[in-house]
Amino acid sequence: MKIPINLSELATHIGAELESEISDIPIEGIASLSKADHTKVSFFSNRLYRDDLSQTNAAAVILKKSDRRFCKRPMLVMENPYLGYARAVSLFTTPITHAPGIHHTAWVSPDAELDETVSVAPQAVIEAGARIGRNVFIGPGCVVGSGVEMGDDCQLIANVTLCTGTRLGKRVIIHPGVVIGADGFGNANDGGKWVKVPQIGGVLIANDVEIGANTTIDKGALEDTVIGEGVKLDNLIQIGHNVHIGKHTAMAGAAGSAGSARIGSYCMIGGGVRIAGHIELVDHVHITGGSLVHQSVREAGVYSSGVPLDTNRHWHRNFHRFKKLDDMARRLKTLEGEVKKEQDL
């Protein structure tokens, strides 16, 4: 699409209803409410920025119908302004393209199968038996292990390691520092000494998955670790062996799941969440940030755990009381029994 585009064209592209007396305002880009000028469109989806909304100089603002009264500028009204923002910003972003070919400092095994459209950057390594589809980009310093399979249009941005047994679907984006298919944490105890359990599964990643920087996904112990279609993983996430994540689930930064957990589809896992092994979360579960999930969640909904931030003084006081809860519960039960006896007399 040509840039700039007029406001009515933008409304059609993002699926919004235009509320403006002038429909041919030229739009050259997108910016925050506080930085946007008469050539930029912005969006509003968080009430914390209501003051910025009322004062913005944006050419137009993408917002919900319920927020129209706070805006003095032309409006692009839709139910999900953040989705509108995502669609709009794609218009003003030039995709990075990579010329096909293998850089002279890369090493590609003669036993690997690469489509002629593949681009291999400096210092990358592709081992024997790897099979790589059309329009794949393998960034600098990446390692593609023996027998790894990659579907069309995948991108390994930089310094990504795909270990043996890893299979990627189509349009998978993997950001710098990711390691997929390393051994899971499997050790058997032999009289106080640890004996390594060989990990013989792989990792199966479906279409349209995106994996953030420095995230790790372990191979399965016996069967595959599975990441479903459209899953979005943030930075610094740990996925243990044999974990299954259902389609279109999103996990925020520093979250982690121990081995053999099963996480449903369309779930949202907040930052810093810890999920215990061998438990199940059904579809449409939302776990808020910092929570510890130590048992299965069998009904859809929003779940939280943890102690909210407090002053150090109050936290210590409540912590000491918490340690006495068991004793207090026993005494309360005893008192209730004595009261019941008196009532029965």
Residue 31 CA, distance from chain mean position: 24
List, edge to edge, every strand of the sheet that includes 143-144.
107-108, 125-126, 143-144, 161-162, 179-182, 216-218, 238-239, 256-257, 274-275, 292-293
The residues annotated as belonging to the active site are 241
Percent of the chain that is helix, strand, coil (3-state, to 5): 20, 30, 55
**In whole angstroms, how large is the CA radius of gyration of the chain?**
26
Rounded Cα gap, residues 210 and 194, in angstroms: 35
Which amino acid appears at position 2 of this protein? K
Q: How far is CA 112 from CA 118, 126, 134, 289, in A?
A: 12, 7, 14, 42
Q: How far apart are CA 302 and CA 270, in angstroms?
A: 11
Residue 111 φ/ψ, nearest 5 degrees: -95, 5
Q: Which residues pair with 244 in a beta bridge?
A: 226, 262
Closest CA to 99 of 113, 119, 114, 116: 119
Residue 114, CA atoms < 13 Å, CB-side half-sphere: 25
Both tokens of residue 47?
């009430």
| Spatial separation of the C-alpha atoms in residues 116 and 122, rounded to whole Å | 17
Please list the alpha-helical segments (H only) found in the chain: 7-14, 50-55, 81-91, 312-322, 325-344
* Strand-pair partners of 109: none
